[in-house]
Structure 1
Amino acid sequence: MVNDKLLQNLSRNLLKILDDDEYYDITIEVGNDPYVNIFRAHKVILYYRSPYLRRILSTNKKKDDKALIHHIKLPNILPEIFQIILSGTLL
């Protein structure tokens, strides 16, 4: 059985990943001019946070794609809403 301390540490580590600006693997351009924000994120987290994003990421996946960082545009989503999807908090 996994102990509580291990789960707490794992939770803290996962929260740090959300704020990690160094090891992200996707950028998401959200909103329309002049209210555009670009978020740095991790595809695996987005994949499990939202069925909508899961469909987008699955559709855009290419077997031979060697790009390290991908970029998608979501003009119909407000930056504030995407921030909640990504981290559960407002900007």
Structure 2
Amino acid sequence: MSTQFLSKLSQNYIELLEDNEYYDITIEVGEDPDVKIFRAHINILCYRSPYLRRTLTSSKKNKDNVLAHIKLPNISPEVFQIILKH
């Protein structure tokens, strides 16, 4: 039963990553002309990456309750997508 639970939990995290309605942070990745904006969840990012935890906790929330738009130009969108999924 625990294997089934972990499988479902993993699927839920993938669904969160692909959800365009419920998110609390946007991250602009890459440089022109290869730029992509990711929508994500700060709690998950902070627990998965010490680098993102440092970067994100220094940002303040704006009036829409979405964190200020942050930019990570030194990483390609393709690489960041892999980081988010692993």
Which is higher, the Rg of structure 1 or of structure 2? 1
Counterpart position of 2:45: 46
Q: 1:30–1:36: 8 Å Cα contact kept in structure 2?
A: yes
How far, CA to CA, are the matches of 1:10 and 1:50 in structure 2?
19
C-alpha distance after superposition, 1:29-53 (max 9, x if no partner): 0111111111111111111221111
TM-score, normalised to structure 2's length?
0.81
Matches within 5 A, 1:1-80: 3-61=2-60, 66-70=63-67, 71-80=69-78
How far, CA to CA, are the matches of 1:6 and 1:75 in structure 2?
37
* Structure 1 unaligned residues grouped into runs of 5+: none
Q: How many residues align?
A: 85
Counterpart position of 1:81: 79
Q: CA RMSD in A?
A: 1.9
* Structure 2 unaligned residues grouped into runs of 5+: none
TM-score, normalised to structure 1's length?
0.77
Q: 1:49–1:85: 8 Å Cα contact kept in structure 2?
A: no
Q: In percent, how many aligned pairs have the same letter? A: 61
